[in-house]
Amino acid sequence: NNIWVNSKAASGSWNSNFDSVFTVGKGYLASYQNNTTKTFSGTPNYEDVIISGLTYTSASSHSGANLIGNPYACALQWNQTSGSSGWNLNNIDGTAKIWDADNASYTDIAQGGIIPAMQGFMVMVSTNGTGSLNIYKGDRIHNTIPWHKNEEINKLKLTAYDLAGNTAQESVIMVKDNATFDFDHEYDSRYLSGYAPVFYSTINTQAVSTNVIPELNENLEIPFSFVKNTSDNFYIEVSGIESLVPAFNVYLTDKVTNTTQNMKVNPLYYFTSAVSDNPERFILSFKSITGVKEMSNSSNISAYSFNKTLFISNPDHEKGLIKLVNMFGQEVYKTQLNGNNKQTIVMHVPQGYYIVQIAAGKFVVNTKVMLK
C-alpha cells in the first residue's frame, strides 16, 4: 500500500504511474543530487488521518515495517495520546522509526517522541495480519527543533560510530516497571538496518534497536551483536548512565579482544573489526554503586570558566571526551578533548551552573562551573 514509484521515467519525462497528488498520510522516499528547496501547493491537512491495511510480511528482513508520513505542516508527537481517543494503535508496535540521514540509519521514536513536519516515518505491524492507526491531530505541536528527544530516566543509548564513513547506529536500553524480559510490542522495537554498521541487542533471538526491561541488576547481561560495514575502525559510546536510578556502573565486554571497560569512567570504547569476527561480540553488564563519590582523578586535567568561556588545562596532552551537563542531568554539549595543552570553548547555553565531565584514559574529571 505504501510503494515508492519514481515520478520520472528513464527518459526524464513524467511517469504516469506516479500519483498525481500526494496522498495524505502516505510516506514517500525522495532523493535529489543537490540540496534544493521544494515547493508544495495545495491545502494543508488539519484533520485526523486513519491509516489501515498496513501489512506484515513474515519472510522479510523488514517484517512489519510500513512507511507512512506526518500529514501536517507542523511537528507531531508519536502516540502521545494513546488508546481509542488518540492514535488507536491496532496491531502496531509502540515504537516508530525515523530515517536519520546524517547517521545513515534509523532512529527509534518512543511514545511522545517528535516527528518533524511532513516527515516520513516507519511503523511496525506487530504480528501476522494487518494493522491500523489514527494519526491524531490533537498531538500536533509547533517544534522548530527537528531532532528533539525528551530526557528520560533509566535510559541508556549505545551508539556505534564508523570513523571513516561517519555513519552511526543507535541502540537503546530502557527500564520500565511494567516491561518484561521478553519482547514487549508496547515498548520494544525490532532492528532495521541502514548503511551504518549493524549494531543491536537481542531479546531471545530477536534483534532489537530498543530493548525495554523491568529492572537492572548485577546478574543481568545484555548481548549485543556487531557487523562491520565497509570501514574497519569504530567506537561505541554509551550515554545516559547518569540517568540510572539507582546508580550503576556500566561495563562493556568485547569478546573478540577479551577486554572489559567501565563505560561510566570512560564512555568511549574504540575497536577494529574484520569480516571474520564473530557478530555476537559484546556484552553489557552492571554493578551497583554504594554511596555517591567523585571519581578518582590521577590526571592533571582541570577546568574552569569565565563568563561563557570554558578553559581546559591538559598538561599531559591526553585525548578523550568533554561533556557539559546541566543541573537536571541533561547533556547540553559534547566535544572531543583534543590533546592540546590548552583548550578554549565558548559555550552558547543559558546562564547557570553546569558540570564539566572530562573522560580521558581510565579517569573522569567532574568540575562544577558557572557560565553567564
Q: What is the pLDDT along the chain (372 residues), one digit of tens a residue?
A: 445 566 667 677 777 777 677 788 888 777 777 777 877 788 889 999 999 999 998 877 788 999 999 999 999 999 999 999 999 999 999 999 999 999 999 999 999 999 999 899 999 999 999 999 999 999 999 765 544 444 578 999 999 999 999 999 999 999 999 999 999 999 999 999 999 999 999 999 999 999 999 999 999 999 999 999 999 999 999 999 989 988 899 999 999 999 999 999 889 999 999 999 999 999 999 998 753 334 444 578 989 898 899 999 999 898 999 999 887 667 899 999 999 999 999 999 998 888 898 988 767 788 888 898
pLDDT at site 5: 60
pLDDT at site 4: 53
pTM of the predicted model over 0.85 = no
Q: Domain extents for the chain?
A: 1-148, 155-288, 302-371
CATH of domain 302-371: 2.60.40.3080
pLDDT at site 291: 38
The residue type found at 292 is: V
Q: Is the CB of residue 309 less than 8 Å from the CB of residue 347?
A: yes
Lookup: cell for 240? 545516559
What residues have CB less than 8 Å from 228, skipping those under 6 apart? 197, 234, 273, 274, 275, 277
pLDDT at site 59: 72
Phi-psi region of 182 (alpha: psi -120 to 50; beta: other; left: phi over 0): beta
State residue 138 phi and psi, 5-degree precision: -70, -10
pLDDT at site 354: 87
pLDDT at site 294: 43
pLDDT at site 266: 87
- Rounded distance, CA 357 to CA 331, Å? 10
- Rounded distance, CA 336 to CA 229, Å? 24
The residue type found at 37 is: T
Fill in the DSSP letter of residue 195.
S
Q: Are strands 319-326 and 331-338 parallel, antiparallel or unpaired?
A: antiparallel
